[in-house]
Structure 1
């Protein structure tokens, strides 16, 4: 069974805006695709915790729900803080639009 994660569009890009998101317990992410343009998104803390405690997270398929459209994705990369072991950024790869 796939895990369903609710995501939101992110309009403000850049380091400054990513730091602001993290301050409010929101995590910047990007959804990459081969055919389509990449989509900047963010996840709230509750959604991030679903991912944080999954085993074999790189092998699992995840469904991202974004404005009533579901995307089947895999995690491409997780960026963590060097000392704090906190998640800073997630990269997803689009497998299929459901």
Structure 2
């Protein structure tokens, strides 16, 4: 399983726009082939910073999503709102403790 973590920073005036776009598309993203989990986090100390956290069955599934019209539509509306360069990590999930 691949875990994708994306850090994004937004201008304060664009946060509601980002959240509206995320909310309009989150179910489609979560239901995209290979996506098993999706969460959105907000930094406690800097409310302009958000993270998406998603699980993908395979790297190919993530890549298929990144090439999809869904991703292109969401990303094109999101990237114009940034106040910092986004950062992304793809990591292998090694262990879960409950």
The structure carrying a bigger helix percent of its residues is: 2
Higher relative contact order (CA 8 A, sep 6+): 2
Q: What TM-score does the superposition give when structure 2 sets the normalisation length?
A: 0.28
